[in-house]
Amino acid sequence: MKGMTLIEKIIANHSDKDVVKPGDIVDVKIDVRAARDFGGANVIKNIEENGLPIDDPKKTFFTFDTNPTGSDQKYAANQQFIRTWARKNGIKVYDINNGIGTHLMIQEGLVYSGKTAVTTDSHANILGAVGAFGQGMGDKDIAAAFAFGKVWFKVPPSVKIILKGQRPEGVFAKDIVLNLLNIFGANKLLGYAIEIYGEEVDNFTLDERITIASMATEMGAIIIFFTPNNEILSYAEKVMGNKIEPVTADADAHYDQVFEIDMSKFVPMVSLPGHPHDTVNIVEAKKVKIDSAFIGSCTNGRIEDMRIVANILKGKKVAPGVVLKIVPSTDKVWQQCLDEGLIKIFKKAGALVSNAGCAGCAAGQVGMNGPGEITISTGNRNFPGKQGKGKVYLASPATVAASAIAGYITTFDDIPEEPATFDVEEREQRLEEARKAAEKHKHKHDKPKVVEGKVWMIMMDNIDTDMIFHNKYLTITDINEMGKYCLDNLEGFEDFAKKAQPGDIIITGKNFGAGSSRQQAVDCFKALGVNAVIAESFGAIYERNAINAGMPILTYNKNFVEELDLKHGDKIRVNFETGEVENLENGKKTKINPFSDVQMEIYQNGGLF
C-alpha cells in the first residue's frame, strides 16, 4: 500500500478512515470553525432556521476582518447581531480591533501542523503555510461545521513542486508566487493540493510562506502546503505551550505530477489589471504612472512586509498626487510597527495607515479605487471591480513602496531622484475613458425561459465570484434580493438579472466561481430560478457551495458544445442522474458528468439541511 500525501494524511487523521485516496468523499472533523462578519449573520440564520446545535463552542469563532471599522451600517448591524448571538452561545469573537481571521488562527496558536480549519474566507488555505488544512466555505458548510463539528470533503489529488536553485537578489515571496502563476495560470492546477519543497524553500520564513500559500486560490488550487521547519515549529510550540509533532507526507506518497522549477530564473513580477495570473516581468510594466498604492491584505500585511516597506520609504516622500495606503494584517503587527518606529516612517513619507484588517479586498474599505484610477497593490486579486472601479496591478511590497515614491511602477533599486508628476489633461482623459467604458452598452443574448429550454452561452474561463455577485452587496442576507445583482459585474452580461427567466441554463468555461467563498454567488442564481450551470470546471469552494445549496451544477468534457452543435438560445434537456444532454433543436445528444451520490442526495433534500 502506497503512502499518503500531506492532505491525504491530515484528512485520514480527522476521519474514521485509516487511509484515504483522491476521489474519496469523507466526513472530516474540523478543529477550528470560524465565520467572518460578512458571512456570520447567514451562518447564524442557517443554524436558527434549521434548529441546529453548537458542537463545541471552544472550537468555534467569529472574526470581524472585512469591515474592521464598522463604518458601513449594514456591516455594523450584522456585527452587533453576531456579537449578541455569540455571547448567548459562549462563542469567542475576534472583534474589529484584532485583524484578519486566518492570520489570527496562526498567531493565537489555534492551528498548526496537521490541524483542520474552515471559515467563510476563500483564503483559508493560507493555513497551508504552517502545514495545516484550511478551507474557505460557504455559510451552509460553516453552519454544518458549527453544528456537527465536521463537514464532508472530497479528497483532492496532489502535486509536488520542487523549487531548485537559489532565489535571485531582489526577488521577494510575492514575486515567487507570481512567477508560479505565470507558469501554471489560473486553472492548470485546478482542484489540486500543492506541496512545495526545495533546499531554499526550507529557509522560507513564516511570513514568506503565508504570502505564497495565500495565492493558492488564485491558482485554482485547493491549498498550497509547506512542511514546517524548526523555526516555525518553535513558534507554534511557544504559542501553544506544548510540543508539536509535525505531520509530513510519506516518502512513497503518490503525486499526479511532480514539477521541478529553477527558482534562480525567477524575476520581479507584476500582475496586469484584470487577472492575478496575467503576470509579466516587471520591466514590461515599468514607468506606468500610478494614482495610488496599497500595502496590506492577507497576502502581504505581515511584519516582514512592513519592515521592507519602511526600509524603502525611510527618508523619502510619496510622489505628489499619489496616495499610499498601508494596512497591517493584525493588531499585533500594527503594535510591532509602532514599537519599531515603522509607523513614524510611514507617516513621515506621507502614507495613510489604517487599523488592521482585510482592507481593499472588501468593498468600502481602505485600498479601494475609483474610475480611471491606477493602483499598484500587494493584494491577491485584481479582478475588475474587486478593489474598486479603477485598474489594479499586483506586486510585492518592495515594488509597491518604490512605485509610490517614483509615481510610476518601478523596482526598489530603480527609484528616480525626482518623482513623476501628472498633468491635468492626462488624468482627465483617463477619467473620461473610464466613464465611456462604464456607459457603453454591451450586446446581450436572447434569454432562455423553460427548464427543458434555452441556454445562455457565457463561454469565458475564470469567471470569479466578484463578477457573479460583487462584494459591495455582501451585507444582503435575503436570498430574494440577491437575484437582481447576479452577474452585474461581468462585462457584457450586466443586465443578466433583468433578462433572465426561471428555467434558464448557463453554459460556461473553466473555473467558474473562482475567488471568494461567498454563498451569494450561488444563491443569486437560485433567486432568479436558474435551472443549472454547466461548466468545464468550477472553483473548488463554489462547487461545494452550489452542491450544498441544492443548486444543480454539472461539468463537461472539452467537446461538449461541438458534440451538441450548441448555439445561443438552443433548447436542451439535461439528465442529472445519467449526465445525458440533448439539444432539442437538432436531436443531437452527448454525455456530461452526472451528479455524484452525495450531490444527488443533497439536491433531492433541497440543500444540505
446: confidence class by pLDDT, cuts 50, 70, 90: very low
Count other Cβ atoms within 10 Å, centred on residue 200: 14
The CATH number of whichever domain residue 467 belongs to comes to 3.20.19.10
User: CB neighbours of 480 closer than 8 A, spacing ≥ 6?
Assistant: 527
pLDDT above 60 for 554: yes
Q: What is the DSSP letter of 442?
A: P
DSSP-assigned letter for residue 593:
B
Q: Give tens-digit pLDDT for 248-290.
A: 999 999 999 999 999 999 999 999 998 888 899 999 999 999 9
Q: Dihedral (C-alpha) 127, 133, 135, 140: value to the nearest 10 degrees? A: -130
Average pLDDT over the chain reads: 90
CB 14 within 8 A of CB 116: yes
The mean per-residue pLDDT over the stretch 556-563 comes to: 90
* Separation of alpha carbons 452 and 498, rounded Å: 21
| d(C-alpha 403, C-alpha 414), whole Å | 9
The CATH number linked to 282 is 3.30.499.10
Name the pLDDT band for 153 (thresholds 50, 70, 90).
very high
Residue 445 confidence (pLDDT): 32
Model pLDDT, residue 404: 97
User: pLDDT digit string (tens) for 161-206?
Assistant: 999 999 999 999 999 999 999 999 988 899 999 999 999 999 999 9
Q: Over the stretch 101-114, which tens digit does the pLDDT of each residue have?
A: 999 999 999 999 99
Cell numbers for 259, please give them.
Answer: 514539477
Q: Are residues 251 and 359 in the same domain?
A: no
Assign 598 a pLDDT band (cuts: 50, 70, 90).
confident
- Tell me the mean pLDDT in the region 52-60: 97
- CA pair distance 394, 377, nearest whole angstrom: 5
| pLDDT confidence bin for 444, thresholds 50/70/90 | very low
**What is the per-residue pLDDT for 430?**
60
Residue 30's pLDDT band (boundaries 50, 70, 90)?
A: very high
**Residue of 249, 267, 275 lying closest to 128 (CA atoms):** 249
Domain-embedded: residue 344? yes
Residue 542 has pLDDT above 50, yes or no: yes
Q: Which has more confidence, 367 or 126? A: 126
Q: Residues 366, 493: one domain?
A: no
Residues 314 and 219 in one domain: no
Residues in the chain, how many? Answer: 609
Share of the chain above pLDDT 70, in %: 94
Domain membership of residue 366 (yes or no) is: yes
Stretch 39-67: mean pLDDT, rounded?
A: 94
Q: What is the pLDDT of residues 241-257, one digit of tens each?
A: 889 999 999 999 999 99
Rounded distance between C-alpha atoms, residue 482 and residue 486, angstroms = 7
Provide mean pLDDT across the span 505-523.
91
- Percent of the chain scored above 90 by pLDDT? 73
The per-residue pLDDT for 442 is: 37
User: Other CB atoms closer than 10 Å to residue 238's CB: what's the count?
Assistant: 9
Query: What 3-state DSSP class applies to 299?
Result: coil
pLDDT of residue 428: 67
- Looking at the fold, whether 185 and 68 belong to one and the same domain comes out as yes
pLDDT at position 364: 63
Higher pLDDT, 426 or 212: 212
408 pLDDT above the threshold of 70: yes
Tell me, yes or no, whether 287 and 171 share the same domain: no
* Cell 443586465, residue located: 495
Q: What is the pLDDT averaged over residues 479-487?
A: 91
* 449 found inside a domain: no
What's the mean pLDDT in 319-346? 96
Among left, alpha and beta (phi > 0; psi -120 to 50; other), residue 189 is: alpha
Residues 145 and 281 in one domain: no
At residue 441 the predicted structure's pLDDT band, cuts being 50, 70 and 90, is very low
> 321 CB contacts (<8 Å, ≥6 apart)?
291, 407, 421, 422
CB-based contacts of 494, cutoff 8 Å, min separation 6: 442, 487, 488
**Do 261 and 142 belong to one domain?**
yes
Neighbours of 596 (CB within 10 A): 13
Residue 447 lies in a domain: no
Same domain flag for 527 and 383: no
297-311, 327-341, 399-413, 595-609: least confident range: 595-609
Instruction: Give domain status of residue 609, yes or no.
Output: no
Whether the pLDDT of residue 427 is over 70: the answer is no
Distance, C-alpha 71 to centroid of its chain: 23
Q: What is the pLDDT of residue 371?
A: 86
- How confident is residue 454, by pLDDT bands cut at 50, 70 and 90? confident
Residues 186 and 310 grouped into a single domain: no
Phi, psi of 457, deg, nearest 5:
-105, 100
**pLDDT greater than 80 at residue 434:** no
Decide if 290 is inside a domain: yes
Sequence-distant (6+) residues with CB within 8 A of 511 are: 186, 187, 190, 220, 461, 462, 463, 537, 538, 539
Examine residue 541 and state whether it is found in any structural domain, yes or no.
yes
- Are 464 and 411 members of one domain? no
* Number of independent structural domains in the chain: 3
359: containing domain: 269-437
Last residue of a domain, one of 206, 236, 265: 265
Among candidate residues 437, 465, 500, the one where a domain is terminated: 437
Q: At residue 326, what are phi and psi to the nearest 5 degrees?
A: -125, 130
pLDDT of residue 443: 36
Are 303 and 252 found together in one domain?
no
Residues 29 and 98 in one domain: yes
Picking from 234, 265, 296, the residue at the C-terminal end of a domain is 265
pLDDT at 431 (0 to 100):
60
Residue by residue, DSSP assigns 340-386 as: TTHHHHHHHHT-EE--SS-GGGSTTSTT-B-TT-EEEE-SS---TBT
Structural domain includes residue 446: no
Confidence bin at 405 (pLDDT 50/70/90): very high
Amino acid code (one letter) for 342: L
63-81 per-position pLDDT tens digit: 998 888 767 778 888 899 9
Between 1 and 236, residue with greater pLDDT: 236
pLDDT score at 242: 86
State how far the Cα of 359 lies from the Cα of 378, in Å rounded to an integer.
11
